[in-house]
């Protein structure tokens, strides 16, 4: 992607090719114009095209250029927040709807993958949220209780069961979520693009939107080379918003997150680490995550940006942390490295925003965008199709304000992660 080996790393190297698309040129018309070619925009395009609406999607770079092509690939159910806290933030009605829809999110992702034959390394064996110490275990007990009250298939594993599944005795327990799984993120984005194209949507890459204007009862959306007129506008630019959609980026605090991938592990080693291929993350504030890819590489990640100053610190820490977790991997090295920016909101709940008349968008998934992006893409489509009124949607409409102290917080996250990993180096 953009010839930058640190942007999409392993996912760029192992994803099936993107469908062939061209930049927008000249004038065109549609029922709906969508800005952004990640999960939110592509899911919306697919669901609208399936319902017979004409759709033009404009992506500034390539499908999956933003978080959708850079993430860990954990298909999570729900949000970061504990279920009870979600209702506390958005109210009981919306909270109930949101949790039900996002709880079913992995099933929606997996059904789209099945229906459209998307080749994206899908694993359906759940995720393990691993407890660091007794504090971590107490947090997971709360999560287990709150999800079980809502009928979700989650269960707390003890330290022995966790060690058997993960292959390390570093954790005090783990919350197994059987709804969840893992996938190859960029391959899923490209697969959604293929499905949307096949279903009849028109998709343009290398088409950054530079201007958006309401003329009468229609939107006129311009790139340097062309324009689209449409009744409806969907903004799906999340933490990578540029041009007129820079505001979506500025309404979020961006948290950098990096991933490193080992070479493929041999069969004997693979038998000792995540033999059932669950996706893993832990309860630390500066958390770590890991999962296997189809070729048996271990993808290991944490908070931080791989740019000068941070790269050596984060890579050094990751090598040591991996060796502490799995001594058999000592000195194995990393074959790929990449990082991206996670869009965080101040209450950890995504924003459903009206950008004007007949103009909607969702952003701010707080590191949970695979299922939620897919779910919200469908939600926006249902609203445009007239099947869901604004007050029936799974989130209330919110205002758009720049995140308070955004620059300071972003600096703090990046420097804080470096300090934590530097301290970790000295352990």
Where on the chain is the footprint of ligand FAD (CB under 6 A)? Answer: 35-41, 58-61, 65-68, 70-74, 76, 208-209, 236-243, 245, 257, 340-342, 365, 367-370, 373
**C-alpha pair distances (Å), 397 with each of 9, 44, 325:** 36, 18, 43
Q: By CB neighbour count within 10 A (0-12 exposed, 13-18 middle, 19+ buried), where does 260 fall?
A: buried
Closest approach of ligand FAD to the CB of residue 73, in Å: 6
User: Of 38 and 319, which CB lies nearer to ligand FAD in the complex structure?
Assistant: 38
CA 52 to chain centre: 27
User: Of 136 and 369, which CB lies nearer to ligand FAD in the complex structure?
Assistant: 369
User: Of 268 and 339, which CB lies nearer to ligand FAD in the complex structure?
Assistant: 339
Closest approach of ligand FAD to the CB of residue 327, in Å: 26
User: Of 5 and 91, which CB lies nearer to ligand FAD in the complex structure?
Assistant: 5
User: Of 160 and 246, which CB lies nearer to ligand FAD in the complex structure?
Assistant: 246
Closest approach of ligand FAD to the CB of residue 46, in Å: 12
**C-alpha pair distances (Å), 103 with each of 99, 152, 159, 179, 255:** 6, 8, 26, 8, 24
Closest approach of ligand FAD to the CB of residue 200, in Å: 20
3-state SS track over 82-132: CHHHHHHHHCHHHHHHHHHHHHCHHHHHHHHHHHCCCCCCCECCCEEEEEC
Closest approach of ligand FAD to the CB of residue 237, in Å: 4
Given the DSSP bridges, would you call strands 226-235 and 359-363 parallel, antiparallel or unpaired? parallel
Closest approach of ligand FAD to the CB of residue 255, in Å: 8
Point out the residue whose Cβ comes nearest to ligand FAD. 369
User: Of 228 and 329, which CB lies nearer to ligand FAD in the complex structure?
Assistant: 228
Length of the chain: 427
In the numeric block, the tokens 């092509």 are attached to: 69
- Which helix H or strand E contains 240, and what residues bound it? none
């Amino acid at each position: 992607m953009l010839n930058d080996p640190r942007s999409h790393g392993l996912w760029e190297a192992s994803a099936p090719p993107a469908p062939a698309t061209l930049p927008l040129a000249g004038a065109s018309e549609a029922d709906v114009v969508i800005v952004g070619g990640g999960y939110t925009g592509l899911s919306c395009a697919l669901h609208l095209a399936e319902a017979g609406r004409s759709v033009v999607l404009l992506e500034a770079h390539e499908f999956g250029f933003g978080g959708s092509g850079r993430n860990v690939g954990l298909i999570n159910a729900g949000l970061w927040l504990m279920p009870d806290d979600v209702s506390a933030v958005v109210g009981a009605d919306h909270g109930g709807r949101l949790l039900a829809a996002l709880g079913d999110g992995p099933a929606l992702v997996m059904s789209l993958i099945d229906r459209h034959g998307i080749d994206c390394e899908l694993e359906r064996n759940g995720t393990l949220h691993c407890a660091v110490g007794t504090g971590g275990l107490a947090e997971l007990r709360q999560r287990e209780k709150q999800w079980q009250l809502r009928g979700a298939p989650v269960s707390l594993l003890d330290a022995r069961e966790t060690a058997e599944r993960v292959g390390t005795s570093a954790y005090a327990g783990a919350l197994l979520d059987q709804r969840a799984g893992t996938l190859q993120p960029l391959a899923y984005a490209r697969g959604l693009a293929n499905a949307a194209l096949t279903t009849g949507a028109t998709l343009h890459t290398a088409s950054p939107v530079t201007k958006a204007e309401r003329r009468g009862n229609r939107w006129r959306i311009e790139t340097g080379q062309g324009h689209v007129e449409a009744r409806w506008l969907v903004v799906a630019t999340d933490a990578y918003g540029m041009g007129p959609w820079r505001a979506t980026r500025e309404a979020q605090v961006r948290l950098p997150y990096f991933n490193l991938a080992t070479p493929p592990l041999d069969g004997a080693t693979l038998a000792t680490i995540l033999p059932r291929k669950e996706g893993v993350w832990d309860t630390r504030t500066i958390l770590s995550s890991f999962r296997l890819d189809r070729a048996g590489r271990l993808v290991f990640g944490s908070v931080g940006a791989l740019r000068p100053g941070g790269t050596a610190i984060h890579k050094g820490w990751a090598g040591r942390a991996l060796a502490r977790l799995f001594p058999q991997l000592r000195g194995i090295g990393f074959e790929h490295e990449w990082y991206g920016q996670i869009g965080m909101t101040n209450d950890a709940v995504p924003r459903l925003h009206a950008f004007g008349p007949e103009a909607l968008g969702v952003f701010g998934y707080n590191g949970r965008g695979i299922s939620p992006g897919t779910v919200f893409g469908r939600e926006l489509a249902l609203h445009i199709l007239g099947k869901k009124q604004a007050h029936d949607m799974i989130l209330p409409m919110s205002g758009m304000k720049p995140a308070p102290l955004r620059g300071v917080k972003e600096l703090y996250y990046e420097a804080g992660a470096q300090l934590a990993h530097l301290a970790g180096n000295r352990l």
